[in-house]
Amino acid sequence: MADKNWLEVSLTVDGEMAEAVAEVLARFVPDGVVIESTAISPDPEGEGHPVGPLRVCGYLPADTDLEDTRRRLEEALWYLGCIRPLPAPQFKSIEEVNWVDAWKQHYHPIPIGQKLIIVPAWLEIPPGDRIPIRIDPGMAFGTGTHPTTQLCLEIIEDVARRVGNLTDVIDIGCGSGILSIAALKLGAERALGVDIDPQALVTARENAALNGITAHLEIGAGSVAEIRAGVFGLRQAPLVLANILTAVLIRLLNAGLGDLITPGGYLVLSGILEEQAADVETVARDHGLHIVNRRQLGDWVALLINHPAEASVRGPRADGGLPGRPTEPRDFRPR
């Protein structure tokens, strides 16, 4: 049998655009999208993390539909480029010579925060005391390379350290499940991850199995409305996560996202561009929520928000600390 031919399509973009480009490519390529580092910087602990631009690529089968697929892909990238400028996609014809495995050499464990490390599924867990989260970076959404995901992971770690017992967690738009998995590995007892993308649900379940937490993570199709209606095992949680685009976050806040937070609990919002953060903060305050902290990485912002307890309406302290730990200093700076 003759080797199958492919058309490689790739774009080299900054970290802020990598997952957006990958999401577009994933609509057209049959075997997953690759997000690979163009450079690796040594970590102080002997591990490596990606620096500089990221190369996003996928492979189109060279069949009778290739030209039509390429045209539709270029059109989709053009529309994305109208939101933020993109380089022209690069195309290269190749033959199938184990390329599915070849790209894996570009992936390395990614340390995040003080405790976590994202480990590609096929690699050994590095030595050390970091908590591993095993993810297949061939999946397009939520690999840990994007600033919005990293900001969420850092905040989850900080909240887990200060609150002590996360109990339940709800993850809206769970994607690969990376945030729910991290919360569970940091001590949460149960997590609910919901998404409206059927492929995301498949991916999240696969990654849950990779991490051995399937029994503690419920995955389902839906969003805020379905959770409020009692479709799933959880209707509220002391920690709610939403790493989605700003317009969707605002819509969800107006649809009752804050009602999913137990009184005194926290909401982490990410996927917010710097110039849009003030709008999200305003809508959150309009719904009686308190902004505890704003963390930024590059052009992206994540917000830690508190649902004040009804009895005491406890918002953030004057020094910015989490309510309930008046003598403990805090550090929510990007790392």
At residue 187, φ and ψ (nearest 5 deg) are 120, -5
Domain with CATH 3.30.70.120 in the chain: 5-106
**Which pTM does this prediction carry?**
0.70
- What stretches of 158-289 adopt beta strand conformation (E)? 168-172, 190-195, 217-221, 237-243, 261-273
13-69 tens-digit pLDDT: 987 788 889 889 988 987 778 887 665 444 444 444 445 688 899 889 888 889 889
CATH class held by domain 5-106: alpha beta
Q: Yes or no: say if 133 and 211 are a contact pair by the CB < 8 Å rule.
A: yes
279-300 tens-digit pLDDT: 999 999 999 999 999 999 988 8
User: Under the phi-then-psi rule, with left for phi > 0, alpha for psi from -120 to 50, and beta for the rest, what region is 72?
Assistant: alpha
Give residues with Cβ within 8 angstroms of 152, minimum separation 6. 179, 241, 243, 268, 270, 302
CATH topology of domain 138-306: Rossmann fold (3.40.50)
The CB density around residue 265, as the number of other CB atoms within 10 Å, is 25
Q: Which residue has the higher pLDDT, 158 or 164?
A: 158
Predicted confidence at residue 47, as pLDDT, reads 44
Domain with CATH 3.40.50.150 in the chain: 138-306
SS3 226: helix
